[in-house]
Amino acid sequence: MDRVRLAIVGSGPAGLTAAIYASRANLRPLVLSGVPSGGQLMLTSEVENYPGFPEGIQGPELMDRFRAQAAKFGTRFRDTNVTEMDFSRRPFTLRLGEEGTVRAASVILATGATARWLGLPSEERLRGRGVSACATCDGFFFKGLEIALVGGGDSALEEALFLTKFSPRVTVLHRGESLRASRILQDRARANPALSFRFHTVVTEVLGTDRVEGVRLRHGPDGEESTLPVRGLFVAIGHDPATDLVRGQLDLDAHGYALTRPGSTATNVEGVFAAGDVHDHRYRQAVTAAGLGCMAALDAERFLAEHPDPGESATPGPG
């Protein structure tokens, strides 16, 4: 059993920034990294918009640096998955399957969210080589190139509109007959001459060997096939926040994102804070997740000062 003042669940930019701040505040945090560790940036190649890296940096290297910085100030890590969280009383209980239990006087939930993918082998093979789930991150790489984008919700149209800053032609491929996106975004999208739509259309294969060269499409009820030559495929069919383990304990919104008090990272459970994409479905950037992680550490520090747990040990346990 490990007894800690602060457990941080998740090791993306939110969790590791929280760890940097919390360890510098002498809270001796324990990061339960999850397997694989590092979050969504581990699946990203070049990151060009993280401040401080004008020449760009590979996503995994950026996360290695976050981790090294947290370790430097005394953060401990357990590279394992949390299998159960019990927030019914303090100290909170986090079970690690066969690998024991952690009791924590406070918890920062930074478990992130995962982008939904179409589930095609060719999509997985070409991820980072023209297939992306983040227009803000990768749109810039498609200057002057034609792009296809899958989805019919608000995210899809926002991303498609953003991509028209770079691409002369963005084709939105939607499986349904009408868009789910809000009217205002639909109007804006339809007024944009660089955007076109294909309805009742699904992507059956991403074409290309080591970079995207096109997509194979199936249309309508009769399953007619065609190919569309594009150099990029953006998938914008939603995200799933990793909140399964806290469902029924933390207040979540209709899409499963952790709710926090306005202007704070505090959840409805005193001593439990939420940061990063597990809470934020709007901005979803490494730098905003890092900012929320910083806020969560400051909130936890204040909470622990005001609510000391008499049983908590300042000495870290094994791990």
Interacting residue with ligand NAP among 56, 128, 176, 308 (CB under 6 A): 176
Residue 155 binds ligand NAP (CB under 6 A): yes
By beta carbon distance, the residue nearest ligand NAP is 153
Residue 154 binds ligand NAP (CB under 6 A): yes
- Measured in whole angstroms, the distance separating CA 54 from the mean position of its chain's CA atoms is 23
Copy the structure tokens of residue 125.
Answer: 């093979």
Q: Which is nearer to ligand NAP, 19 or 237 (CB)?
A: 237
* Active-site residue flag, 251: no
Q: Which is nearer to ligand NAP, 169 or 281 (CB)?
A: 281
Catalytic residue among 86, 134, 154, 240: 134
Interacting residue with ligand NAP among 6, 20, 126, 237 (CB under 6 A): 237
* Active-site residue flag, 137: yes
Q: Nearest distance from residue 152's CB to ligand NAP, in Å?
A: 3
Q: Nearest distance from residue 238's CB to ligand NAP, in Å?
A: 4
Q: How many residues bind ligand NAP (CB under 6 A)?
A: 16
Residue 152 binds ligand NAP (CB under 6 A): yes
Q: Which is nearer to ligand NAP, 70 or 236 (CB)?
A: 236
Q: Which is nearer to ligand NAP, 161 or 300 (CB)?
A: 161
Span 115-134, contacts to ligand NAP by CB under 6 A = 118
Residues whose CB is less than 8 angstroms from the CB of residue 147 and which lie 6 or more positions away in sequence, other chains included: 163, 167, 169, 170, 171, 230, 231, 232, 233, 234
* Active-site residue flag, 138: yes
Catalytic residue among 2, 137, 280, 294: 137
Q: Which is nearer to ligand NAP, 141 or 199 (CB)?
A: 199
Distance from C-alpha of 63 to C-alpha of 82, rounded to nearest angstrom: 20
Residue 215 binds ligand NAP (CB under 6 A): no
Closest CA to 232 of 88, 108, 135: 135
Residue 238 binds ligand NAP (CB under 6 A): yes
Q: Which residues bind ligand NAP (CB under 6 A)?
A: 118, 150-156, 158, 175-176, 180, 237-238, 255, 281
Residues belonging to the active site:
134, 137-138
